[in-house]
Structure 1
Amino acid sequence: MSAAAAPVPRILVISPNWIGDAVMAQPLLRLLRAARPDTPIDVLAPPSVAPVWRQMAEVDEVLQTPFRHGALQLRERWRYARLLRARGYAAAYVLPNTLKYALIPWLAGIATRVGYKGESRYGLINRMHHDDVPPRPMVAFYAALAGAPGPLGAAPPRPALAATPAQIGAACAAAGVDAGRPLLVFAPGAEFGAAKRWPAAHFAALARRALLADPRCQVALLGSPKDHEVCAEVAAAAGGPAAVHNLAGRTSLAEAIALIAKADAVVANDSGLLHIASALNRPVVALYGPTDPDHAPPFSDRAAAISLRLDCAPCRQRECPLDHQDCMRRIDPAMVWQRLCALLA
C-alpha cells in the first residue's frame, strides 16, 4: 500500500483591521497566487473585514479572528495558534504592524513569517521588510511583501473584487432598490474620523442635482450603523426617504459590496467603501481632505480624485486641528457634480 500523500502546504495572510487596507492588500494575493498557483491561500481576518476577502478570487478560505479589539489575550492567541499549526501552513504574511498579530504565526510554528518591522518584531518576523521614507502608496506597500525585502520591481496589479449577479439581485431586493433603474451610491461616512467627511449638506445638494437631472435615478446612502445619523441628515435635506435610500446600518458589508457593484457611479469620502467601489471598477468620485490622494488613490477605469491640496493638508488627523475643516468644506457640490457628469458621460 502506498503512503498517503503529504498535505499541500498552505499560505496564511493575516488581514489588516481596516476595510480599505484589506482591499488594497488584494494585489499581494494575486502575486502570491501567480508565483504558487497550486498553493491554497487562507486569510485570517476580523469579522468586520472578512466579507471583503470572500469576494476575492485568490482566497481559498477566510478564518475569522476570535480576539477582542485592542486586547493582547496571550492565552487565547496561543490556543488559536495550535489550531493553525494543524492546518499545515508553510508561510504567513502578517499585514498589521502590531506585535500581537506577529505572535500568532510564531506560536503556530509557521516556518516563514513575512512582514514589516512594525513594533520591533525581530524574531517573530523572520523575513522582515522596512518602511520606505517617504512611505509607498498602500497597494505597493503590501504588494512588496510578495518578494524579497527591498524595492518593489514592476508596478503591482490594481485591486480587484467581484460580485455575482445573484448577489447583486438579492442585495437590491433586500434594500428596496429597483435593479432596473439607475443607481448612484454615496458614502458620507468615514470610520477614521469626522475630518475625512464631506459635509452632509454638500452630499444632499449633490443628490438633489442628480434627482433633478434624472427623475428615474435612485440615490442610496451606504455606511455602518455609526453613519446612520449623518446619512439621515443627508436624506432629509435631499428630499426625504422617497428620494434617497438611507441604508447605513441596514445592510451587511456583503450586501453593501453587491449594491456598489450595481451602482452606475459612487461618490465617497476616503473610506473603505471608496476602495471597495474602486476595486469593483465602478465610476468613482473620491473626496480627499486630511488624507493624501496619492497614497491611496482610486483605481477604477473611470475615476476622479478631488483634493484642494491646501497648505494645511494632508494633516492625517481624525479631527481638524484648525477647527475649520476647509479641506472638505470648500469642495463645492457643483465641482463634484461636474466630475460625476463627466464620468457618467
Structure 2
Amino acid sequence: MIEVENLVKRYGGHLAVDHLSFTVEKGCVCGFLGPNGAGKSTTMNMMTGYLAPTEGEVRVDGHSVTQDPAGAKACIGYLPEQPPLYVDMTVREYLEFAAGLKRIPGGERAAQLDRILEMTRTADVSGRLIRNLSKGYRQRVGLAQALIGFPHILILDEPTVGLDPKQILEIRALIRELAQEHTVILSSHILSEVQEVCDHIFIIHHGRLVAQGTPAQLERELAGTPAITLLLKAAPEEGRVLLSGVPGVAEVAPLPCGEAGAALLRLTPAEGADPREAVFRACAGADLPILEMRRESLSLEQIFLELTSDASAAGQAGGRRRPFGRRDSAEPEPEPAPAPETAITKHGEEAEP
C-alpha cells in the first residue's frame, strides 16, 4: 500500500530524515513513535506530498508521490498536527469548501458529507461556527476533512495532541473504528496511545528507523535475556553460593529484603539461557524453599527510552548487545519547522461546544 525507499530530507547542514525505508501493508494501523524532533512530522509531510524529499521515493498504492502527485494524494487523507480550519465558517460550510478543493462532484457532496459527519460524530455541531467549538470537536472536524473522498489511507500527525483525557479516548475510539475500513498511519510520542491503537510500530530517532515490529515483537526481541528475581528461604550468602554454580546463571546479586529469614536475589542468566528449571532443582536439592520466582522483562516504555537515549551509542561502543534494526545515532538537533500549511488558517481561540 505504501512503500518508502531511502527517504532523505536535509535542511542545509541538518539531516532531518536519514535514509528511511519501510513498507506499510493494506489494512494495517501503523504508529510512528519517537521523541519530539525525531523527524516524524517531516516524514509524514513527504509521504503526503506536502514536502519534497531531498532523496528517495514514496509510492502510494503504486503512485509515486514525486512523479504522480495527484494520483498519490487521491489515495490519502491527511490530518496535520494543527488541523487547517477556517474558524469563521460553520462545520458544514468548511467541509463543503474542502470537498470543492478535493474536486468531489457536486451531486455526491451532500450524501458524502452527511456520512462523514455521522462517522466523526460531528453532525450535531454541523451548523456551529468552528471558532466556537472545543479543541476536541475541532480535531474531529479536521478528521472529517481527511475523510472527504473516502481515501484508502489516513495519515494522522499527533491526532490527540493538546486534548484532555476524555477527548483523547473519544479520538482513539474513532481511529479504531476508521481502521476497519482504512489503512491508518499515525505519529505520536505517547506510548500508551501507540500500543493501544497500532498493529505495527516504527520507532524513529534522529531521523532514523531504529526498530520496527508489533508491540509484542518489540518487547520480545529487544528485551534481551530477562533477569530473574528469586525470594529464597535461606541466608543471602548461602543462596548466592548455591545459585552461582547453577548452569546458565552468569551472576547472582543480593537485593534488600524486608522478609525475615529470607534472601532476595537477582539472577542474571547467561546470554540466551533460561535457568529457571535448573534453579528450582538446585534449591530443592539443597532443601531451600523458593517463596517467589519472577522473570523480569522490559516494557515497551523501557524499550523506547533505551532506543531513543543519546547514551545508547556509547553503550553500543562499550560492547552491549545491539537490538535488531538498531543503528548508531548522531547528536540531536531540533526538528525544523513544519512544512507551510495550505491557505486554510490555523484554529483560533477555543470555547466549549
Flag whether TM exceeds 0.5 (same fold): no
Task: Give the number of the structure whose alpha-carbon radius of gyration is greater.
Answer: 2
Sort the TM-score into its range (normalised by shorter chain): under 0.3
TM-score norm. by structure 1 comes to 0.23
Normalized per residue, the structure richer in strand is: 2
